[in-house]
Amino acid sequence: MAIEAAGTAAERTLPLFPFERTEMGPAPEYRELRESEPFKKVRLWDGNVAWLVTRYEDVRKLLADNRFSANPRAPGYPNITKLRKVLTGTERPSFIRQDPPDHTKLRRMLTKEFTHHKIQSLRSMIEQIVDDLIEDMLSGRRPVDFVEAFALPLPTQVIMKMLGIPHSDSEFFVERSTTKVRIDVDPQDAIQAGVDMRNFMRDLIAEKSKAPEKHDDILGRMIVDQIQPGHLDIEDAVVSLELLMMAGHETTANMTALGILSLIQNPDDMERLRLNQSDEVVQLAVEEMLRYHTILQFVGTRVATEDVDYNGVMIRSGEGILPMINAANRDPRVFDDPEIFDIARKSTYPHVAFGFGVHQCLGQPLARLELNVVFNKLPKRIPQIRLAVPFDELEFKRNVLVHGLISMPVTW
């Protein structure tokens, strides 16, 4: 008893997580912790205590270790915010929140849609959308909000086309999805946003099920290959579709805006991409943007399902871990001068902006292709693009699940 009481008092002195991040980088505290306490106990809003992990190697190993569960209903699971807890407590989980073998089964129903090869076949469709959006910007008013005019519509249109959701419904989704990932919103509104999206998906499945073979899209194939033969429950399909829709547009949109911002801040890099004719140069630049910004900042939260002795650190069953991919991506053991944005950077080990382990991003070939097309074309078409407000006036999302810009007024 005495020990337990002491423990609780000690726990109250633990630092409160999450720490405040900066506009262009993760919480500065990570830098010191990575050196002095690579496994650091921290306290969450609800008093739950979890291990904050900040080194690249440890983050990768823990994310790849299936003794840790991604299921928020598992006892001890570390919920970063109250809203997350409310949402995951009420909603049917998608496969991003499930463990093998359930996770494996649901994810594998979609892997063929996101292979390297399959995604490359979408290049001309994506190029067309990018060209059209650039034309619209060039012929429209200045200044313009880059997020609204370009960064958000691109991935939204692409994922909707792939899934087979009518273009006319994009506003509906963007609005609901934005509400759901915010942290400063009434939990009831976030829950309702999820309900709305899922109702929509349910109706769409019913509609397309009338003649699914007519629909040459992910949903059409899902109905024919999985739902109709009885491999996939309709409710699981609904949830997977919502996941793809949300993960497919929020992320790339934020990455696009932050990427352009980095180029605006580093005119030499903008110039380099403007003059560039080589695909590899763009690829490296995109990888650096992904590493440097690591927009999904709080993913990878897991809980131990058994005692794990990790190189002498005893992680008890039911204890949460917070392997921070944005901390890992600034680990000087792997990335030279990690705080510097260097579009020609090469490292022996790849960044973990798409996570690691069985949940590593399913959509990464798509995200990479979209970003590749953007950073091939934009610096050539609008090289003079610049901020229309001082940097200090930009509105960043900060401690939201996905970092990014709320808006970014630009001109040229």
Q: What interhelical angle do 234-265 and 267-275 show, nearest 10?
A: 110
Contact 370, 223 (CB under 8 A): no
- Give yes or no for residue 174 binding ligand HEM (CB under 6 A): no
Based on DSSP, count helices (H) and strands (E) in the chain, helices before strands.
17, 12
Q: Is 247 in the site for ligand HEM (CB under 6 A)?
A: yes
Considering only 68, 200, 298, 356, the residue that binds other proteins (CB under 8 A) is 356
Three-state DSSP at 176 gives helix
- One residue of 8, 22, 90, 115 binding other proteins per CB under 8 A: 115
Residue whose Cβ sits closest to ligand HEM: 363
> Measured on CA atoms in the order 233, 237, 221, 165, is the torsion positive or negative?
positive
Residue 283 CA: distances (Å) to CA of 115, 286, 344, 368 = 18, 5, 9, 8
- Alpha-carbon span 144 to 260, nearest angstrom: 14
105: part of which helix (H) or strand (E)? helix 102-111
Nearest of 298, 279, 297, 277 to residue 287 by alpha carbon: 279
Binding mask 81-120 for ligand HEM (x = CB under 6 A): --------------xx----------x-------------
Closest to ligand HEM by CB, 93 vs 409, is: 93
Alpha carbon distance 170, 176 (integer Å): 10
Q: Does residue 364 touch other proteins according to CB under 8 A?
A: yes
User: Applying CB under 8 A, which part among 72-80, 250-258, 336-344, 357-365 lies near other proteins?
Assistant: 357-365
Q: Does 104 bind other proteins (CB under 8 A)?
A: yes
Q: For the stretch 1-14, what's the b/e string if a residue is b when 16 or more beta carbons lie within 10 angstroms of its beta carbon?
A: eeeeeeeeeeeeeb
Residues 312-351, one symbol each (x = binds other proteins by CB under 8 A, - = not), give ------------------------------------xxx-
Residues 6+ positions from 100 with CB-CB distance below 8 Å = 66, 358
Q: Does 64 bind other proteins (CB under 8 A)?
A: yes
Instruction: Give least dist CB 359 to other proteins, A.
Output: 8
243 binds, among ligand HEM, other proteins, none (CB under 5 to 8 A by kind): ligand HEM
Among ligand HEM, other proteins, none, partner that 113 touches (CB below 5 to 8 angstroms by kind): other proteins
252 binds, among other proteins, ligand HEM, none (CB under 5 to 8 A by kind): ligand HEM
Residue 116 near other proteins by CB under 8 A: yes
CB nearer ligand HEM, residue 14 or residue 215: 215
Stretch that binds other proteins, among 105-113, 214-222, 245-253, 378-386 (CB under 8 A): 105-113
Among 111, 128, 199, 265, binds other proteins (CB under 8 A): 111
Binding of residue 160 to ligand HEM (CB under 6 A): no
By CB under 8 A, residue 122 contacts other proteins: no
CA 33 to chain centre: 24
Can you say whether the dihedral through the CA atoms of 353, 358, 359, 360 is positive or negative?
Answer: positive
* Binding test (CB under 8 A) with other proteins, winner from 118, 202, 215, 381: 118
Unique residue bearing structure tokens 């005893």: 314
Residue 209: left if φ>0, alpha if ψ -120 to 50, beta else—which one? Answer: alpha
Considering only CA atoms, which of 343, 198, 345 is closest in space to residue 273?
343
Q: Which range binds ligand HEM by CB under 6 A, 121-129, 250-258, 277-285, 308-316?
A: 250-258
CB of 109 to ligand HEM, least distance (A): 11
What is the contact mask toward other proteins in residues 272 to 301, using x (rule: CB under 8 A)?
A: ------------------------------
For the CA atoms of 292, 114, 105, 60, the dihedral, rounded to the nearest 10 degrees, stands at -20
Enter the tokens of residue 300: 């990878």
Nearer of residues 34 and 291 to ligand HEM, judged by Cβ: 291
Q: Is 117 in the site for other proteins (CB under 8 A)?
A: yes
112 binds, among ligand HEM, other proteins, none (CB under 5 to 8 A by kind): other proteins
Picking from 391, 388, 377, 389, the residue whose alpha carbon sits closest to that of residue 154 is 377
Binding site for other proteins (CB under 8 A): 63-64, 104, 107-108, 110-118, 348-350, 354-358, 360-362, 364-365, 368
